[in-house]
Copies of this chain bind each other. A is one copy, B any other.
Amino acid sequence: MGALVSSGSVVQTLDRARCLVEPALQAAVDRLPAQMRTVAGYHFGWWDAAGAPIRAGAGKAIRPALVVLCAEAVGGAATAAVGAAVAVELVHNFSLLHDDIIDGDATRRHRAAAWTVYGTPAAILAGDSLLTQALRVLAASAPQPGPVVDRLCAALLELVAGESADVAFESRTDVGVDEYLEMAAGKTAALVACACELGALAGGGSPDAAERLRSFGHHLGLAFQMVDDLLGIWGDPQVTGKPVGADLRTRKSSLPVVAALTSETAAGRQFAALYARPEPLTDAQLHTAAQLVEEAGGRTGTEKQAHRQVALALSQLDDATFVPTAVRQLAELSHLVTDRDW
């Protein structure tokens, strides 16, 4: 957690957004039908499977912080963006609930995934209810609900298409970098971009400002996914909560893998041969696979690409009309995303 400890002000930024948004988030979940509320509150880390209150490691709530900061960047009040922040966080968690079912992931944030505790039907329905509540909260929060509902729905369709592509990639070994970028743009960047755009709109920003901040979010979201990909192979299991080489185990077409497979290097070809084997990889093979991906340039290539995306994101903030304090905090948050080890 080195990155977090060394960036005191980012922690403050995240804390401030959390304190502003979490009560409204909890109220939105409280208004769900009882069974959905139970599953959702467990998933958010507010209570355990027996219903006893806990304070489990919830998500870092980066998306709500982006909504709030983008509202402030265009000169709006943070409070004006709370509804949009809640909506974005609800959508994010809807997608986690469904994706864990789809990917068969039994662990989420170091705890048993909701579907393993409450069953697949309950987790599907809880996801449906979060998606619904997100749109309800957003529509109720905006003086002009039409455009913002449209924006969130568009992001949702991109998100679903990205997840679908990610699933389809699992049975393929010939995914290209362009296809990867399209998938990541949907699966991860669409909602981050939407978070920033909705924040800007809630803050009363101009269409031009909203578009710039949307673009900032798009590039930041791509960087976020790439760092996730790096951690999925080389992350510390103690910190990430995933087993060593998790993404290699499931033969995910993450960017380091795609880069290695398309590298036309000897290491890349060796890696391709290993990856093509039908049987599960042993721990020794996983170790070798990770080394081959690194030798083929998959690791440094992905790091370089992630930094490039952060640079593209930051360049969007270079706008004299933006409020400097908010811009600084957005920049700090961007660096946290790439420097994180979780």
Q: Mark A190-216, 1 if CB is under 8 A from B, else 0.
A: 000000000000000000000000000
Within 8 A of B (CB), among A163-193: 163-165, 167-168, 186
Q: A124-B124, A128-B131, A136-B154 are in contact. Are A160 and B36 (CB under 8 A)?
A: yes
Residue ID in chain B nearest A32 by CB atoms: B157
Cβ of A140 under 8 Å from chain B: yes
In the assembled complex, how far is the CB of residue A39 from the closest CB belonging to chain B, in whole angstroms?
A: 9
Within 8 A of B (CB), among A12-60: 32-36
Among the listed stretches A65-73, A74-82, A142-150, which one makes contact with chain B, having 4 or more residues with CB under 8 Å of it?
A142-150
Cβ of A257 under 8 Å from chain B: no
Complex: how many Å from CA A317 to CA B283? Answer: 70
Q: Cβ of B150 and Cβ of A136 under 8 Å apart?
A: yes
Copies held by the complex: 2
In the assembled complex, how far is the CB of residue A233 from the closest CB belonging to chain B, in whole angstroms?
A: 23
Cβ of A274 under 8 Å from chain B: no
Q: Cβ of B131 and Cβ of A102 under 8 Å apart?
A: no
Q: Cβ of A157 and Cβ of B133 under 8 Å apart?
A: yes
Q: Cβ of A146 and Cβ of B150 under 8 Å apart?
A: no
Complex: how many Å from CA A168 to CA B34? Answer: 13
Chain A: residues with Cβ within 8 Å of the partner, total of 42
Which residues of B sit under 8 angstroms from A128, Cβ to Cβ?
Answer: 94, 98, 127-128, 131, 156, 160
Cβ of A61 under 8 Å from chain B: no
Q: Cβ of A124 and Cβ of B145 under 8 Å apart?
A: no
- Report which residue of A34, A35, A125 has the largest number of chain B beta carbons within 10 angstroms of its beta carbon: A125
Q: Cβ of B135 and Cβ of A168 under 8 Å apart?
A: no
In the assembled complex, how far is the CB of residue A99 from the closest CB belonging to chain B, in whole angstroms?
A: 9
Q: Cβ of B129 and Cβ of A157 under 8 Å apart?
A: yes
Q: Cβ of B161 and Cβ of A36 under 8 Å apart?
A: yes
Cβ of A132 under 8 Å from chain B: yes
Q: Cβ of A146 and Cβ of B139 under 8 Å apart?
A: yes
Q: Cβ of A33 and Cβ of B145 under 8 Å apart?
A: no
Q: Cβ of A146 and Cβ of B153 under 8 Å apart?
A: no
Cβ of A101 under 8 Å from chain B: yes
Complex: how many Å from CA A160 to CA B150? Answer: 23
In the assembled complex, how far is the CB of residue A149 from the closest CB belonging to chain B, in whole angstroms?
A: 4
Residue ID in chain B nearest A166 by CB atoms: B121
Contact of A145 among B35, B98, B146, B161 (CB under 8 A): B146
In the assembled complex, how far is the CB of residue A155 from the closest CB belonging to chain B, in whole angstroms?
A: 9
Complex: how many Å from CA A153 to CA B133? Answer: 7
Q: A33-B161, A161-B33 are in contact. Are A167 and B136 (CB under 8 A)?
A: no
In the assembled complex, how far is the CB of residue A125 from the closest CB belonging to chain B, in whole angstroms?
A: 5
Cβ of A11 under 8 Å from chain B: no
Q: Mark A78-108, 1 if CB is under 8 A from B, else 0.
A: 0000000000000000100010011000000
In the assembled complex, how far is the CB of residue A71 from the closest CB belonging to chain B, in whole angstroms?
A: 20
Cβ of A122 under 8 Å from chain B: yes
In the assembled complex, how far is the CB of residue A113 from the closest CB belonging to chain B, in whole angstroms?
A: 15
In the assembled complex, how far is the CB of residue A157 from the closest CB belonging to chain B, in whole angstroms?
A: 6
Given contacts A33-B186, A142-B146, 9 further A-B contacts (CB under 8 A): A35-B165, A101-B124, A125-B164, A128-B160, A135-B135, A136-B150, A136-B154, A139-B153, A145-B149
